[in-house]
Amino acid sequence: MTSRVRRVWGTVRARLRAFRDIYEGLYVAPYRSQIYRAYLEERDLFLLSGFSDLMGAPSPVLFYTLELYPELIEQFHQWHLRMGMPRAPEGGFRCC
Amino acid sequence: MSADASVVFDRAVLFLGGKGGVGKTTLAAAIAWRAAREGQRTLLVSTDPAHSTADVLGRTLGPEPTPVSPNLWVMEIDPTLEADRYIAEVKRQIAEVTPPRLVAEVERQIDIARVSPGAEDAALFDRFTRLIDQLGNPYERIVIDTAPLGHTLRLLALPEHMAAWIGGLIGRRRKVTALSRMWRRVAGAAAAASVREEDPVLATLEERRARFHRTRAVITDRQRTGFVFVLVPERLSLLETQRAVQTVAKHGIPVRALVVNRVTPEPTVGARFERRRQLEQECLQTIRTTLAEYPVFQVPLLEIDNGGPATLDRIASHLLRS
């Protein structure tokens, strides 16, 4: 009995998933890249406002945020690549 | 304004501040010594780079609390040492998680931070917030002999400013986290793997801010904290104290009392010393009228030089007798 219930539930779930995929394809997909772009922009803003020393401008809380470096340098690297700079800007953090 | 000395100096966190050379270190040691003798677990902290506390107690001290007598621990915070320690710790953490190709560059960046202005203040302050967290366990009393005034005032203003700045960063970071969550929801399985659920950056920032808030809550609480100004009965000392009292109060730190140290006692011999005594009395009068809202205590000019427990006991008796 229970195995049958499970089987039916499995089918229902598969259908629901298919429905969700169609829904996403129709309504969500067009915004996907926009949301991703917004996410990246916000992340960059955080990086550059809070960790301006990466750009060579002193940050007043630099000393309190040093331990965040490992989390952020990779993002910094991605940022300058995305901004069309194959090398890190002069004066700041030289990741490449 | 008069008050009972044993009540005035009994705050859990007691700062002693004043111009250099007025006797802060000795008075702080005397107060801590007395508190410890009365059975309270007391930590005497010196943030003065001159490290006179070691000289007062006649023994070497370090950056860790050293027991010097029953219930009394003493430590000297050295900003340079604290900054170096913090840097070393960060480098160790970083070596574990940074891609190898970036380690050298990250270390270079961190070394720049080490020599940047404010680094040592920040390290000193960070250590200070951790000490305040130890209030109650294990220490019942923390007596802080502060560095000369300007420096101390900046240090005390830090929790306010840093908490605000880090608060701003946290707000921004929360937006990043919210958007990343939104992105994950629409992107399906592809993005789920690339974005982590918990945000270590946010967690670190929030820990910092929470600690700054706790420190700020303690040092602005008049039930737990008091700032005591030490001065000598001379014009310059008085003028600086008048200004400093305003600043400390403005930062919300409760000013508890003024201690006028090295007051020339009666009787004096000769016209020169009598004149001097009169000037001091006039100065005391000005202190009482211009800073009328604070209790004023006096410690006379003694015939002993600083030298160990017996001296401290005597000074404490003078201070706490009133």
Confidence of residue B226 (pLDDT cuts 50, 70, 90): very high
CA distance B85 to chain A (A): 12
Average pLDDT over residues B48-76: 88
Q: Which residue has the higher pLDDT, B74 or B21?
A: B74
Closest residue in A to B158 (Cα–Cα): A61
Average pLDDT over residues A21-35: 79
Give B88's contacts in chain A (Cβ within 8 Å): none
Give B180's contacts in chain A (Cβ within 8 Å): 39, 43
Cβ–Cβ gap B186/A50 under 8 Å: no
Q: Which residue has the higher pLDDT, B149 or B247?
A: B247
* Chain B interface residues (partner A, CB cutoff 8 A): 83, 86-87, 89-90, 93-94, 97-99, 102, 105-106, 108-110, 112-113, 116, 118-119, 122-123, 126, 162, 165-166, 169, 172-173, 175-176, 179-180, 182-183, 186-188, 200-201, 204-205, 208
Cβ–Cβ gap A62/B116 under 8 Å: yes
Structure tokens at A95: 């990741």
Confidence of residue B186 (pLDDT cuts 50, 70, 90): confident
Q: Which of B93, B109, B118 sits opposite A63 (nearest CB)?
A: B118
Chain mean position to CA B117: 19
In whole angstroms, how far apart are CA B110 and each of B32, B60, B67, B119, B275? 38, 32, 35, 11, 58
Q: Give the sign of the dihedral formed by CA B171, CA B175, CA B180, CA B186.
A: positive
- Residues shown for chain A: 96
Whether B301 and B313 have beta carbons less than 8 Å apart is answered as no
Each residue's pLDDT tens digit, A70-92: 778 888 888 888 888 888 887 77
Whether B25 and B48 have beta carbons less than 8 Å apart is answered as yes
Give B119's contacts in chain A (Cβ within 8 Å): 63
pTM of the model: 0.81
Output the pLDDT for position A9.
Answer: 92
Helix (H, G, I), strand (E, B) or coil at B223: coil
For the ranges A51-55, B58-62, B301-305, the lowest mean pLDDT is seen at: A51-55
d(CA B38, CA B25): 20
Output the pLDDT for position B52.
Answer: 84
Confidence of residue B263 (pLDDT cuts 50, 70, 90): very high
Interface confidence, given as ipTM, is: 0.71
Output the pLDDT for position B117.
Answer: 75
Query: How many Å is the Cα radius of gyration of chain B?
Result: 24
Cβ–Cβ gap A35/B186 under 8 Å: yes
Q: Give the sign of the dihedral formed by CA A43, CA A46, CA A49, CA A52.
A: negative
Helix (H, G, I), strand (E, B) or coil at B41: coil
Q: Which of B83, B97, B169 sits opposite A50 (nearest CB)?
A: B169
d(CA B183, CA A38): 9
Output the pLDDT for position B188.
Answer: 65
In whole angstroms, how far apart are CA B1 and each of B50, B223, B227, B293? 34, 19, 16, 6
Closest residue in B to A60 (Cα–Cα): B118
Each residue's pLDDT tens digit, B269-319: 889 999 999 999 999 999 999 999 999 999 999 888 876 778 888 999 998
For B207, other C-beta atoms within 10 Å of its C-beta total 10
d(CA A21, CA A29): 10
- Contacting residues for A68 by C-beta, under 8 A, at least 6 apart: A51, B201, B204, B205
